[in-house]
Every structure is written in structure tokens, then in C-alpha cells.
Structure 1
């Protein structure tokens, strides 16, 4: 919710920091909210990677479109939200993944369920890809 408000310029980080939160979890959520994540699943992913010691750049533009995350120079991360099930969205994503592959990127795509409820799989997959050097230029 905070990320949505930040990206729509309905509030700003200074205002969030000034709120006297009574709940530690509310304070923690406000502290990690930023304008680079388009959704809560993206923020959760970034926190997951931070805990694993993996640096992720967000909203890096490649081929005229932003990547949800870029690890190193070549490991593209795309995150699909909870409501991301329409056929047109899926076809667009398949085409974008193919264009990225042809440009030398390795694309890993995770959905809401995986990031929130199977974070071990997400982390292990990314660490394995990095161990294989998929984040480095060819």
C-alpha cells in the first residue's frame, strides 16, 4: 500500500518517516517502502535477496521495458503479481522474455505464490544461477 502511495506521489518518504508508528511491524513496512517497487511482491523479493546477500538493481530499462530486477549484468528477474493471469499478459511476457534472451540475458520469472510462500525455492534458484555465472556477461 505504501509503495503504491509513494509511486503515485500521494505521500513521500519523509512523511512516512515522521509518522509515530505504534506497531513495530508498521514501522518496518514503512521503512522498506520505496518508489522502485511496483508492488508488495517486489519489495518482499528485494528483502529476500538482501537477506541472502544478493544485490539487485530495480527497474532497469532494457529493450524499452523495465526489469523488476537485474542481478549483475545479465540475470533478469521478472515478478508476476497475484492477479497476473490474463492470457494477453502472459503472451506479452513470453515475447519480452524471448527478446531478452536474444540480447544475452537470462530470465528468471517468479510469481506471487513462489516469492511469498516458497522463498527458499526462489533464493536457491537465484543462488544456483549465480553459481553458474548467469549474472555475468558472456
Structure 2
């Protein structure tokens, strides 16, 4: 499967937490920053990426908790490409979307 088709499939099958976070990030709703979903970078797909700010927002569900080594390698590769990576648990997005939005805004200010 090619990368574009893979990204489209990931967008169609996003988790509930990804849907909630996308509602916060889409259409420049957060400080006017344009985010993309499932953006291909190297061999990975960033959950949410703002090219201009060089910021990636990753959501981690229960499966990610068991894959810390994989996540660390993935973060290294993404940072090597000049991105800052911040991570949130799905639970954080669902329980405190305002706090997550504030943390992302703070990260956006750091990248300017």
C-alpha cells in the first residue's frame, strides 16, 4: 500500500481521542496554526503535524504504553527531521481537552 493510501486509511479509522483532538486543531482553530492528520515523515505517520511550527502532536493509547522503545525511536527520527514532538495519552484528551489545547499552544509559542 502506498503512503498516501495508508495515510487516508489512518484518517478514516482514527480513534475517538484523535477525533476530539482534531476538532481542537483543525482549520487553524488553535492560534491559527494549520495542522495535518497522519502526515508522512520518513517511515512514520505523525498523528498531527504543524509544518510551519515544526511541531508534532502524538496521541498514545493503551498499546503505546507497551511500546516505549518504539516510541522513543520514532521520536528520535521525527526530531531528526527538525520537529518538536509532544505526546498526550488518549485519556488526557478525553478528560481535559482544554488543558491539552493550552499545552499545545505553549509548545507552539516555543517553536516561533
Q: 1:124 to 1:51 in 2, by over 3 A?
A: farther
State the Cα RMSD in Å.
2.5
Q: With structure 2 as the length reference, what TM-score do the two structures score?
A: 0.76
Structure number with bigger Rg? 1
Structure 1 distance, partners of 2:72, 2:91, is 19
Q: With structure 1 as the length reference, what TM-score do the two structures score?
A: 0.63
More strand by share: 2
Equivalent in the alignment of 1:121:
99
Q: Which runs of 4+ in 1 moved over 6 A?
A: none
Consecutive unaligned residues in structure 2, runs of 5 or more: 1-8
Q: Which has the higher contact order (CA 8 A, sep 6+)?
A: 2
Consecutive unaligned residues in structure 1, runs of 5 or more: 1-6, 9-33
How many correspondences in the alignment?
Answer: 101
Q: Is the 8 A contact 2:64 2:71 kept in 1?
A: no
